[in-house]
Amino acid sequence: MKTIHLKTPVPGPRSVEIAARRAASVPRGVSQLTPIFVSRSEGAVIEDVDGNRFLDLAGGIGCLNVGHCDPAVVSAVQQQAGRFLHTCFMVTPYESYVRLAEKLNSIAPCEGPNKTLLLNSGAEAVENAIKIARAYTRRPAVLCFEDAFHGRTMMTLALTSKTHPYKSGFEPFPGDVYRVPYAYCYRCSYSLSYPECALHCAHHLEDTFKRVVAAESVAAIIAEPVLGEGGFVAPPPGWLETIREICSRHGIVFIADEVQTGFARTGRMFACDHSGVRADLVVTAKSLGGGLPLAAVTGRAAIMDHTGPGSLGGTFGGNSLACEAALAAIETIESHNLCRRAVELGERFRHRALRWKNDFPLVGDVRGLGAMQAIELVHAGPSRPPASEEVRILTRYCYENGVILVTAGTYGNVVRLLMPLVISDAQMDEALDVVEAGLVHAAHRQREHAGAV
Ligand SMILES: Cc1ncc(COP(=O)(O)O)c(C=O)c1O
């Protein structure tokens, strides 16, 4: 039996009515990727206010690895709501914060012994990781990567690469931030190919230390082990290890931003686990909270303990409901072996998407790690011009036909998969049938466009 069920054209009348109120009451800067409003959700399914049922391949942008309304998460939150909601961990603490810190300390890809600080959002956690690294090293500079995304606060915008829509108009940003190319092999900044390049982009950091910023001035290098917003770029073997080694050589704190890659998305609990690289600090958020807002900085105790009482924290950081939700979500990931499921889902997608690459010139690249998979759409030509308009056509076709997808990439020409890992094979196939029909539709529009030019 099919999951997708559309009772009305999308958007339906009730969504259209709320959208008009939204336009009048919410700033334009908050984007709206689909024109529907949600009434309920479960597993990999979202039902809108018009009674239409969608398959969700976006998972609230990667926050629902355990699925919508995971029963264990819902039950933990309900029970906690009956005990107390908020006391502020800094005023009258509670055990769930400590239990979650202990859990993260034991599973995070850091050398240990570790300590964990809890916060509300990925951006807030990145900000804190930078504060901690600067305090520990007593150095000012931070190195980050092209095509990186680390958040929308001022420091994290400085670290984020994409100018539009994130940075433009919000300048100036905090200083002493330097950016170098990521290992984006499909669009290599040095026009080299792996493995002949011998990881030139990573080794080139030594040159950056001579020509741009001295190594002894650099507090931290922050990297996503797989680019998220930047287009689901998994660096080739050896890249992360080389960055780690360069940090160790120069006494630089290595921060792994696992906000999007963490909690089984890539087929391991953390993306760093694939290479065995241990970071000094690891930032997590998104799927940590199982659907509730929560983020963490986990890292070597010697670094984490460097700043004095009162220097870290926040009113709601590690809220009791979010801690209980996170403990339940991690338990679900482990007991349901969602890492293995992520690998299966990734393979299921790749099997199909590699056929698309053969059949549609529009599909330039199929890539990713585990269930963190994407396709990059391009026009013909040696520079692989980004097919951003076709991605818009495809995502629109998909939501109009019952599948919710989000895009990525500096040029907005990547379609990424962040489905709940509890999606069934039948649901996955049903969703991919719609994506395939959407590709046929977008390719047709591309041919029309080429004909018109
Ligand atoms: C890798 C990465 N870091 C940080 C962030 C910021 O997280 P938040 O939106 O929770 O502030 C994101 C969000 O997409 C992300 O993907």
- Which one-letter amino acid corresponds to residue 178? Y
Hey, which of 64, 150, 152 would you mutate to test ligand 1's pocket, going by the most ligand atoms within 8 Å of its Cβ?
Answer: 150
Hey, which of 144, 149, 406 would you mutate to test ligand 1's pocket, going by the most ligand atoms within 8 Å of its Cβ?
Answer: 149
Residues contacting 115, CB < 8 A, separation 6+: 101, 105, 298, 299, 301, 304, 305
DSSP of 382-430: TT--B-HHHHHHHHHHHHHTTEE-EEESTTS-EEE----TT--HHHHHH
Q: Quick one: which atom of ligand 1 is closest to the CA of 123?
A: 11
For the Cβ of 129 lying below 6 angstroms from any atom of ligand 1, the answer is no
Among the listed residues 146, 280, 142, 147, the one whose alpha carbon sits nearest the alpha carbon of residue 213: 142
Which helix (H) or strand (E) segment holds residue 298: the answer is strand 295-300
Between the two ends of the chain, the Cα-to-Cα distance in Å is 44
For the Cβ of 96 lying below 6 angstroms from any atom of ligand 1, the answer is no
Distance CA 141, CA 159 (A): 11
Among the listed residues 112, 64, 156, 124, the one whose alpha carbon sits nearest the alpha carbon of residue 284: 124
What are the structure tokens assigned to 62, written together? 């990667």
Q: Quick one: which atom of ligand 1 is closest to the CA of 124?
A: 11
Which domains are present in the chain? 13-66+337-452 (3.90.1150.10), 73-335 (3.40.640.10)
In this predicted model, what pLDDT tens digit does every residue of 55-72 receive, in sequence order?
999 999 999 999 999 999
Which helix (H) or strand (E) segment holds residue 40: the answer is strand 38-42
Residues of the chain predicted below pLDDT 70: 449, 451-453
Ligand 1 centre distance from Cα of residue 92 (Å): 29
For the Cβ of 293 lying below 6 angstroms from any atom of ligand 1, the answer is no
Hey, which of 65, 260, 270 would you mutate to test ligand 1's pocket, going by the most ligand atoms within 8 Å of its Cβ?
Answer: 260
Ligand 1 centre distance from Cα of residue 287 (Å): 11
Nearest CA to ligand 1 atom 3: 150
Which helix (H) or strand (E) segment holds residue 55: the answer is strand 53-56
Whether a cis peptide bond, with omega within 30° of 0, leads into 11 is yes
Distance CA 160, CA 354 (A): 30
pLDDT value at residue 320:
98
Q: Quick one: which atom of ligand 1 is closest to the CA of 121?
A: 10
Strand, helix or coil at 119? strand
Residues contacting 354, CB < 8 A, separation 6+: 366
For the Cβ of 149 lying below 6 angstroms from any atom of ligand 1, the answer is yes
Distance CA 299, CA 281 (A): 4
Distance CA 19, CA 359 (A): 37
**What's the Cα-to-Cα distance from 112 to each of 88, 96, 298, 380, rounded to whole Å?**
27, 21, 9, 49
Ligand 1 centre distance from Cα of residue 151 (Å): 5
Distance CA 423, CA 407 (A): 19
**What's the Cα-to-Cα distance from 215 to each of 43, 349, 423, rounded to whole Å?**
47, 42, 46
For the Cβ of 122 lying below 6 angstroms from any atom of ligand 1, the answer is yes
Q: Report helix, strand and coil shares of the chain as percent, to nearest 5.
A: 40, 15, 40
For the Cβ of 226 lying below 6 angstroms from any atom of ligand 1, the answer is no
User: E strands along 138-270, which residues?
Assistant: 141-145, 177-180, 218-223, 253-257
pLDDT value at residue 451:
67
Distance CA 256, CA 246 (A): 14
CB atoms near residue 50 (< 10 Å) = 20
- Which one-letter amino acid corresponds to residue 60? G
For the Cβ of 261 lying below 6 angstroms from any atom of ligand 1, the answer is no
Distance CA 446, CA 453 (A): 11
Ramachandran angles phi, psi of 42, nearest 5° = -160, 135
Q: Where are the alpha helices (DSSP H) in 264-421?
A: 272-275, 301-304, 320-335, 338-359, 388-400
Residues contacting 220, CB < 8 A, separation 6+: 129, 130, 133, 134, 137, 142, 143, 252, 253, 254, 255, 281
The pTM of the full predicted model, rounded to 2 decimals, is 0.98
Which helix (H) or strand (E) segment holds residue 62: the answer is helix 59-62
